[in-house]
Amino acid sequence: MAGLGEANTTEIDPNTTTPLLALASCPVDGRPGGSPRLTGKMKIRVSRGSLAFDAYKKTSVEEAFACNYELNPAYRKPLEKAGIEVSGVSEDGGARIIELSDHRFFLGTGFLPQLASEAGNPHPLFVAFLEAAGKTRK
């Protein structure tokens, strides 16, 4: 989409010339030693009018992370120019939710929504995905 055909993650190819996903630069404060850099809860600002906002029905959420890699900020502008919306950002400005607004449901997160789901109370993003999957394409 953004002309980044050689894009990769530094987790798989540390020498990639297009490190789209790279080691998280700002680890979560207070994480246990030896745990992933983004471990714990992080506040996320959600953009009004986005798929994420439609799911959450609010502009501020807190989500659980357990990962070492994040979207490389150097590629945010080219992705946005290509139509990928960064619809959720953390307090440090990191992209935490991305989506394609012209798609029925194309949304990716850097956090683990399954950690906030339980029987009878699924995460709002799972509910939104299932609702979108059940709709007939126009």
**Residue range 77-84: average pLDDT?**
92
**Residue range 60-77: average pLDDT?**
85
Sequence-separated (6 or more) residues with CB below 8 Å from residue 104: 132, 135, 137
For residue 120, what pLDDT is reported?
92
pTM for the model: 0.84
Tens of pLDDT, residue by residue over 84-124, are 999 999 988 889 999 997 888 999 998 889 888 889 999 99
Sequence-separated (6 or more) residues with CB below 8 Å from residue 95: 70, 71, 73, 76, 86, 88, 89, 110
- Of 133, 134, 106, 111, the residue nearest 123 (C-alpha): 111
* Identity of the residue numbered 52: A
Mean pLDDT score of the chain, rounded to an integer?
Answer: 85
89-105 burial string, b = 16+ CB within 10 Å, else e? bbeeebbbbbbbeeeeb
pLDDT above 60 (res 60): yes
List the structure tokens of 20.
């789209």
Structural domains for the chain: 24-134 (3.40.50.880)
- Of 93, 94, 90, 108, the residue nearest 1 (C-alpha): 108
